[in-house]
Structure 1
Amino acid sequence: MPAAESLRAQQFRLAAHLRDPDGAAPPPGLEDRRLKIYRDLFYNSLQGLLAGNFPVIRKLLGADAWHVLVRDFYREYRCSTPLFPELPREFIQYLQERGDERGDPPWLLELAHYEWVELALDLSEAGLADASFDADGDLLAGVPVLSPLAWPLAYAWPVHRLSPDYQPTAPPGDATFLLVQRDATHKVRFNQLSALTFRLLQRISEFPDLSGGEQLRALAVEAQAADTDAFVAAGREMFKQLHADGVVLGTRIP
């Protein structure tokens, strides 16, 4: 075998061993004491990065189950990017593909997304300068503009409440609606949303050319409101609060 091919084969065999020490033999002639240094270095680096991004999952699973999960990820998944900040996203992709036969908690994937989204918004390069809007525009007559730094989220599980003392085995009857937002000081914070507020924000993204008034009237139909005018009046106050909180920036400039 040519030297280059031989070296490549050794590298792949070493990589397979580092990923799965119990299932893949290392290249011949390497002292196990030296191999252990690399096994520990690679795994501990990966585990440390994931633990820093998913501290709640690590705490809820406990040390043993956490290390089993990380070992599974390390052994089975092939990341599509070499960038360390993208590793949490790759971990979520792995959980999506992992299947239900492993006995994982049913809330694991949603909790992972909830923990990841804080990092994602913190690293987002979006800014208010990217949006064109009239901050003083009439939010019902004009087309509302959402902040690119405010993301509405919906979960079947109450991910913000999970703790060692609260780990439900079935999702509650009502979904959990949250808003993750990055403020002017670059701090990321979460707030709970009502179902109606979440749906309004969702509709603005789904139907970006409708005025605020049109959004509210359509939402009144969805909600089967008995009094559309009263619903729209209450919706105006909702828009005022969203504008004050920086979630709705203003209206689109024609």
Structure 2
Amino acid sequence: MPADVKLAGLQRDFAAFLLRGDPAVAAALRPDLPAGRLAVYRNTVMGSLAAVLGHAYPTLCRALGEECFTTLACRFAAEAPPRLPMLWSYGAGFADWLDDCSLTEGLPPWVPDLARLDWAMHEALFAADAEPLDLARLAAIPPEQAGSLRLVPHPSLQLVRSGWTIHALWKDGGTVPLPVQEAVLVGRSPVDEDGCSGGGEVRCARLTAADGALACRLLAGATLDEAAGDETAAGADLQSLLALLLQNRLIAGFALDRPPSVTRPAVIRPEGIDP
């Protein structure tokens, strides 16, 4: 057997042992070593991957407890090891995995959604940056064309919709989630040139189910009129949602279905909303 083929096989077997810990594989790799000697390497690898997931899912780790979270994280790492040489990107499929994993039987049903909120905040932290929308450009849009606006969201902006009050659990820690539909808007505030306090911070804001449906349509590219006319967004507050997005500088631009006219401009004055 060529040396490179033999080496590749050895590497595959060693990787398989690190992920699954099969004693038979360990014995085949180094029959001369005492049982358990190779387990040192496996413990290091699995512990490191569990720690990476713990940093990406801090709220879930806190809610479940470190021991329970580590058990789930190690199982996930064994079934879905990293595929890219960038550990900050590892763990994207954890929430979907939690939906299907047999180990989650007996765990609260809100666990996967809380994981999605954690991951949305994690992705927002590492998302590309973009200049926020200049409000003067928005104010120059004629009133009759305002409904044709399509928003261009900041790259960090994400929406997590849930059937549980996961925002309260993220915010208050010990709060028990209730079976109430809501949405959580997640985004990273731009960093100003003067490095003002709060720049680059990932924030999240709770939305009602109706406002979440409205935000979902807007972020998917619907015009303001299309989003507001959606039946699922009945009762939503478009003005407040736009104020929230603009105040937190989470809109990077806009597009118009129709070319702008020369009539008098609309003036949009967002009211302050604490996210």
Tell me by how many angstroms 1:87 deviates. 0.8
Q: Does 1:161 align with 2:165?
A: no
| 2:6 partner letter | S
1:6: which partner in 2?
6
The 1-side partners of 2:38 and 2:187 are apart by 45
Tell me by how many angstroms 1:64 deviates. 3.0
CA contact (8 A) 1:144 1:249 kept: no
Q: Does 1:128 align with 2:131?
A: yes
Residues 130 and 153 from structure 1, CA distance in 2 versus in 1: closer, same or farther, beyond 3 angstroms? same
Secondary structure of residue in 1 paired with 2:161: strand
Give matches, 1:40-119, under 5 Å.
40-99=43-102, 102-119=105-122
Identity %: 23
Unpaired runs of 5+ residues, structure 1, are: 226-230
CA RMSD between the two structures: 3.4
The 2-side partners of 1:46 and 1:84 are apart by 9
The 1-side partners of 2:113 and 2:241 are apart by 28
The 1-side partners of 2:42 and 2:234 are apart by 60
1:188: which partner in 2?
202
The 2-side partners of 1:165 and 1:90 are apart by 26
The 2-side partners of 1:6 and 1:82 are apart by 24
Counterpart among 106, 121, 141 of residue 145 in structure 2: 141
The 2-side partners of 1:243 and 1:164 are apart by 28
| 1:92 partner letter | A
Q: Does 1:16 align with 2:16?
A: yes
2:184: which partner in 1?
178
| 2:218 partner letter | I
Counterpart among 170, 184, 197 of residue 211 in structure 2: 197
Further displaced range: 13-22 or 44-53: 13-22
Q: Deviations over 1:92-131 (max 9, x none)?
A: 3433443577444322211111111111011111513799
| 1:4 partner letter | D
CA contact (8 A) 2:163 2:182 kept: yes
TM-score by length of 1: 0.75
The 2-side partners of 1:17 and 1:145 are apart by 49
The 2-side partners of 1:164 and 1:246 are apart by 27
The 1-side partners of 2:22 and 2:96 are apart by 25
The 1-side partners of 2:75 and 2:18 are apart by 13
Secondary structure of residue in 2 paired with 1:153: strand
Tell me by how many angstroms 1:235 deviates. 4.5
The 1-side partners of 2:127 and 2:144 are apart by 29
